Amino acid sequence: MVQPILYSLFREGEFRQLLETVKKLHPADIVDTLREFPSEEQKEFFFLLPHEQSAAILQEMELPEATAVLAQMPPGAAAEILKRMYSDEAVDILAELPKEKAAKLLTMMKDAGRELEELLLYEEDTSGGLMATEFVAVAENQTVGGTLAYLRRISPSTENAYYIYVLNRDKKLVGVVSLRELVVAPLATRVGQIMHKDVVKVPENLDQEEVARVFDKYGFLALPVVDKKGRLMGVITVDDVMEIAEEEATEDMQKTASVTPLKTSYKNTGIWTLYSKRIGWLMGLILVNLVSSGVIAAFEETLSAVITLAFFIPLLIGTGGNTGCQSATLVVRALVTGDVKLGSWLQTLSKELAVGLLLGATLGGAGWVLGLFRGGFHLGLVIGLTMLSIVLLTNLVGMTVPFILTRLRLDPAVASSPLITTIADAMGLLIYFSIAAVIL
């Protein structure tokens, strides 16, 4: 919900009322409204707010926008605001800022800065890069009543208070209790007695896609991150992971279309960047296309003799490309989501062999009719047979390439529609002219 009232209060200088309104709104709604503010006035708006509010709003903004806002602020204010943000969000912004600026802010933040500096060492798209260091941990022999009293005293921020982690003397993570379980347990019970001992946890350097899979499997709200010695380093919350699934899907789709994944949203990506993410693939695919040209050149005589053959080139190689694109996309997605495992390539092969035969028979029949109609018995035979072979083969190519890429530890999504289509073109032409040369 955009809140037009915010902007009019701001323009009319009704600052006291403005602050009252901001306090009542959800930060995510304020972010929507801020998009309507001219950028110069956005800056002034943040000047008016208490640091707490600024921190809450910046956390809800997209990273490039939040970084831009923070970069314009006087360093003193920026440091204070960063201190009040969740550490995972603060680190993301600091990583985007110019190195010198980030270093200066970290120094100004003193203790909090040193903690963030450690978080900055993790790769952005790993469990360590996702985790926040705000979590609630108690000792095993603490009572339920004592833990509740402790919670009342520290009044933790919402994001990380749903699970209470239990540590032993060496700071090793030995158990977890949900806030709900704590609330319904007798007050005198020791936490060690009601905690779950088999804590699902992840190591510090797990890829974010794997982290998302763990969340998806167990349906947890938060997941602890431990170091090699089993000590609790931080906690990843489900809201950070929700974004990953969408981000990764967007990246995969871009790869599927032979676009090098954009780092920012499409809207925020400039013309030159869009160009550079696309041109390399298009130029590379031209090289593959030259194989197709070569095939036609090699069969120049056949083609000159029966020019009708040219009519069917788009139909045959087009259908081949479409078939390969279908099987590649189905298999890439199944591999990425873990629906199909690398080990089951043989089952997948036989499945796609069967599907390809059915598709090939149907489309081959259609091609036969079209060829018969256009150029008589022999042409019908050529088109029908070619269609059957092309469909069968491109279907298997589309299915196999993602498996090979996965086996080579490459991203299966590189088996993009344009790549598969272009390979299908070259193969299709070779099959077409070979069959034509024999029959005609």
Instruction: Give the footprint of a copy of itself on residues 33-72 (CB under 8 A).
Output: 60
**Using rule CB under 8 A, residue 25 touches a copy of itself:** yes
**Using rule CB under 8 A, residue 205 touches a copy of itself:** no
**Using rule CB under 8 A, residue 77 touches a copy of itself:** no
Q: Give the interface segment with a copy of itself, choosing from 97-105, 113-121, 176-184, 225-233 (CB under 8 A).
A: 176-184
Instruction: State which residue, 118 or 134, has the beta carbon closest to a copy of itself.
Output: 134
Give the residue, chosen from 48, 200, 408, 439, that forms a contact with a copy of itself under the rule CB under 8 A.
200
Q: Give the interface segment with a copy of itself, choosing from 65-73, 118-126, 237-245, 402-410 (CB under 8 A).
A: 237-245
| Closest separation in Å from C-beta 290 to a copy of itself | 7
Give the residue, chosen from 137, 151, 396, 405, that forms a contact with a copy of itself under the rule CB under 8 A.
151
Question: Could you give the CA distance from residue 319 to residue 388 in angstroms, rounded to a whole number?
Answer: 10
Give the residue, chosen from 155, 169, 409, 438, that forms a contact with a copy of itself under the rule CB under 8 A.
155
Query: Which residues share a beta bridge with 163?
Result: 178
The site for a copy of itself, by CB under 8 A, has a size of 109
- What are 401's two structure tokens? 């390439």
Instruction: State which residue, 109 or 299, has the beta carbon closest to a copy of itself.
Output: 299
Nearest to 109 by CA among 75, 135, 132: 75
Give the residue, chosen from 303, 372, 437, 440, that forms a contact with a copy of itself under the rule CB under 8 A.
303
Give the residue, chosen from 141, 362, 376, 404, that forms a contact with a copy of itself under the rule CB under 8 A.
362
Question: Could you give the CA distance from residue 336 to residue 326 in angstroms, rounded to a whole number?
Answer: 16
> Helix 417-439 to helix 345-407 angle, to the nearest 10 degrees?
120
**CB-CB contact of 287 with 302 (8 Å):** no
Asked whether the CA dihedral 159, 164, 169, 173 is positive or negative, the reply is negative
Nearest to 420 by CA among 354, 302, 330: 330
| Closest separation in Å from C-beta 101 to a copy of itself | 28
Instruction: Give the footprint of a copy of itself on residues 100-139 (CB under 8 A).
Output: none
**Using rule CB under 8 A, residue 2 touches a copy of itself:** no
**Using rule CB under 8 A, residue 304 touches a copy of itself:** yes
**Using rule CB under 8 A, residue 376 touches a copy of itself:** no
Question: Could you give the CA distance from residue 157 to residue 159 in angstroms, rounded to a whole number?
Answer: 6
- Eight-state DSSP code of residue 26: -
- What are 31's two structure tokens? 């972010």
**Using rule CB under 8 A, residue 184 touches a copy of itself:** yes
**Using rule CB under 8 A, residue 351 touches a copy of itself:** yes
**Using rule CB under 8 A, residue 375 touches a copy of itself:** no
Q: Give the interface segment with a copy of itself, choosing from 50-58, 91-99, 169-177, 218-226 (CB under 8 A).
A: 218-226
| Closest separation in Å from C-beta 76 to a copy of itself | 29
CA distances from 298 to 290, 304, 427 (A): 12, 12, 14
**β-strands 173-178, 163-167 pairing:** antiparallel
| Closest separation in Å from C-beta 296 to a copy of itself | 5
Under 8 Å CB-to-CB from 424, ≥6 apart: which residues? 317, 320, 321, 323, 324, 390, 394, 397, 398
Give the residue, chosen from 21, 189, 337, 434, that forms a contact with a copy of itself under the rule CB under 8 A.
337
Under 8 Å CB-to-CB from 28, ≥6 apart: which residues? 60
CA distances from 426 to 8, 21, 287, 379, 394 (A): 62, 64, 11, 21, 11
**CB-CB contact of 158 with 222 (8 Å):** no
Instruction: Give the footprint of a copy of itself on residues 278-297 (CB under 8 A).
Output: 278-279, 281-283, 285-286, 289-290, 292-293, 296-297
**CB-CB contact of 400 with 438 (8 Å):** no
Instruction: Give the footprint of a copy of itself on residues 398-417 (CB under 8 A).
Output: 417
**Using rule CB under 8 A, residue 156 touches a copy of itself:** yes
Give the residue, chosen from 61, 66, 328, 381, that forms a contact with a copy of itself under the rule CB under 8 A.
328
Instruction: State which residue, 133 or 422, has the beta carbon closest to a copy of itself.
Output: 422
